[in-house]
Amino acid sequence: MDLELRKDIASVVTLWNVNGFKVASVESAERVNCVAMSTAMEGINVNVVVGGMETGSIIIWSGWDMSPVRKVNDSSSPILSLVISPDSSYFLSGNQKGELIAWGKKPGEKDKKGVISTAKFNPPVNVISVQSK
């Protein structure tokens, strides 16, 4: 069905492999503003695709089949930018309010994942970059 005819779908995120073959797609009723993909070593980890939503939510999809892994609520402010750390241990989100939030495991906690740290910027963060040494 043509996307323009589907009023219930705001965004479609499609994952392609390096050979140009479609891996999977996911349709979203929420508008997806930005995406990032982890680059962890395959075979040891499963990579994820992280989507920043217009509603302020962040959705994490499996890199295998785009099945939902987790949904977190950042705020009611649209997510404008996402970046995943080079070691895939945390990710940063920037929203329209100018908040930069680090997500991941807190040091010493094995299973609990959530907000590690928050910073506020004015004007809002539109582009985030993480560089490895």
User: The CATH number of the domain where 56 resides is what?
Assistant: 2.130.10.10
- Report how far apart, in Å, the C-alpha atoms of 12 and of each of 3, 24, 49, 74 are: 9, 10, 13, 21
For tokens 């939030």, what's the residue? 101
Q: Does the residue 93 lie in any domain? A: yes
Element (H, E) at 15: strand 11-16
DSSP string over 23-67: EEEEEESSPEEEEEE--PPBTTB--EEEEEETTSEEEEEETTT--
pLDDT tens column, 50-106: 999 999 999 999 999 999 999 988 667 999 999 998 888 888 898 888 888 888 866
Mean pLDDT of the chain: 80
Q: Does the residue 65 lie in any domain? A: yes
The number of distinct structural domains making up the chain is 1
Q: Does the residue 22 lie in any domain? A: yes
pTM metric for this prediction: 0.76
Q: Does the residue 91 lie in any domain? A: yes
Domain hosting 71: range is: 3-120
Residue 35: which pLDDT band, with cuts at 50, 70 and 90? very high
Q: Does the residue 50 lie in any domain? A: yes
